[in-house]
Chains A and B, each alone.
Chain A
């Protein structure tokens, strides 16, 4: 779910602005874009924004607080304040646009008492969210004068629906409904052929949970055709889990080696297996093949890592991964590398790569 909320906010406003510009004036578009950039950076409200756009802007602000600031909050009070503030912004957005799929989804994700509750609410609202997005896109396309903007309009206006399905798939994975999750991801990938939501990652985890190697290999080859940077941490962890579950230990080694090679400080992240707070908007945007990406993948793979009877806080696969000779071998080198980096950047050595733990826990 790597949607950049701020970029999308700008694209959304740009689409509205360009729609209003004069198509016969060659320089009108350029002028309006320059004006828009200035207004946007100064945080000025724009005349041609609709209530839906303003609601989305509030959603972006709530997302920045909840998804991007909350994980770094150091104490409970500030964490609670961030949660309350983001919820207030979402409520404000809902006042502007009661049907806003993103605002409704964030409200569900932030305020639900259990995964089951959020799953049921998201499931109930999925079709309405999709219809809303479709309607908004159609009403935009009708008034559109520039045909070049169609692709961008489709991407921007349908994104809330894709995010809704992606979140629903994510919740079904956590609730243990793997086949439902796979069906939802397949549906989403059919709707959005670029797979902007990176639904294949959630699908890989759900497929792995069913411990069948063949569908997972098929999914991997499909993802490869999408042209995503490989190796992918979600796919590697899923493959490693399936191999572990089917007692094919040599195959596990291949995937662990791929992870250690592709991601910096991978051994530290794989040993820590930190469970990060779940983002409400979408998967947090990070650099591909960075340790942060691996930390997010490992956190999402908690469903694989913590399964089974565990006495030390790690499940069967989690403990296996933590104590794997390849990981342990790389751990010393990674710790030295991290110490060097920390000295260079003047960091506190007690903090480790990957985002900190959930302050709400």
Chain B
């Protein structure tokens, strides 16, 4: 999640809608507007909702700073720093809410960073998701109606034959809908973390209907939940839907599923494929560590990097622990062992 980029998208979208009321904007005009917003943002008026959203950029900056400094801290210093940081983030969210009370992202971060029990956090997020669903549903209906009207218009004017297939509508294109989509993704991830797998699949599937291109990467949580519920059909169709473009999460999901099905040769093949694909996979799997807490959402890390693998293994932890001998089986695999050793040796880690 890039707050500055999204802020630009929001201001652009808002201005476009405002200007389009008089006459539709050409592509050239849109490009000009975007450039002007980027280079001379102060020339444009800022809506209260956008200035509230802009507050969150402070969290983003602090997270980037934390990434650079945390490496040199010991455990106590690290946890103390994070405690202080979370308080700081909560203050920033309160500032944002003071500027605009219904800033969804701020509410989401507040709900997630609360020190309350998991169930209380889920309850708070569920409330937010309830509201988000309402907004998204009405927006989707409106978008569908508009698309239908415009396609009917095209049909009437050009006399072309229309196909029955409804055009795909992604609410992600509207930057004002993104906070709601992110809230749904956060709850799906929280459900998986709190072992509510079946309910997570329902929510994740709903989210995919609002955002078919999956900008929120909910497919990662969905894949884990399907694997835990041993739902091979749904996991395979999810992977097919995204052209088998795997992520560490989907690979882990497949490994877990094959183990659960007792297909041991396939399980071993999947494992060796996983460790071949990602240099750090074996090490991350056999020596799990705590990733940086997720505040804004999943951290934007380099795909296939050690940090991403740590993130994926951490999210999969409860599912891996549910098969008590899975990791022991993985550790016995010659390729996995060698790969973990090689990674540790290369980067100076203990193994």
Contact = CB atoms under 8 A, between A and B. Distances in A.
Asked if A and B are interacting partners, one says yes
Given A210-B229, A247-B122, A307-B318, A114 B194 contact: no
A174 B324 contact: yes
Interface residues of A, number: 26
Contact of A309 (B196, B197, B317, B325): B317
Contacts of B114: none
Contacts of B326: 176
Residue from A116, A180, A303 with most neighbouring chain B CB atoms (10 Å): A116
A211 B229 CA distance: 8
Interface string B234-264: 0000000000000000000000000111100
A176 B325 CA distance: 9
Interface string B301-334: 0000000000000000110011111101100000
B199 interface: yes
A73 B140 CA distance: 65
A7 B329 CA distance: 40
Contact of A177 (B196, B197, B229, B260): B260
Contact of B328 (A114, A172, A211, A315): A114
Contact of A315 (B195, B197, B323): B195
Contacts of B198: 210-212, 245-246
Contact of A115 (B194, B261, B324): B324
Contact of A180 (B118, B194, B262): B262
A212 B119 CA distance: 20
A247 B230 contact: no
Nearest to A310: B318
A316 B118 contact: yes
Interface string A106-140: 00000000111000000100000000000000000
Contacts of B199: 211, 245-247
Nearest to A210: B229
A178 interface: yes
Contact of B323 (A175, A245, A309, A320): A175
Nearest to B318: A308
A6 interface: no
Contacts of B126: 247
B193 interface: yes
Contact of A246 (B193, B196, B262, B321): B196
Contact of A308 (B122, B194, B259, B323): B194
A179 B230 contact: yes
Nearest to A246: B199
Interface string B106-122: 00000000000011001
B82 to A, nearest CB: 16
Contacts of A245: 195-199
Contact of B325 (A114, A178, A180, A246): A114
Interface in A301-337: 303, 307-309, 315-317, 320
Given A211-B199, A316-B195, 11 more contacts: A116-B325, A172-B262, A176-B324, A179-B260, A179-B261, A180-B262, A246-B198, A307-B318, A309-B193, A309-B317, A320-B119
Closest CB pairs A-B (n = 9): A176-B323, A116-B325, A211-B198, A308-B195, A176-B322, A179-B230, A308-B318, A307-B195, A114-B325
21 contacts: A114-B328, A115-B325, A175-B323, A175-B324, A176-B260, A176-B322, A177-B323, A180-B262, A210-B230, A211-B196, A212-B198, A212-B229, A245-B195, A245-B197, A245-B198, A246-B196, A246-B198, A246-B199, A308-B318, A309-B193, A316-B118
Interface of B: 118-119, 122, 126, 193-199, 229-230, 259-262, 317-318, 321-326, 328-329
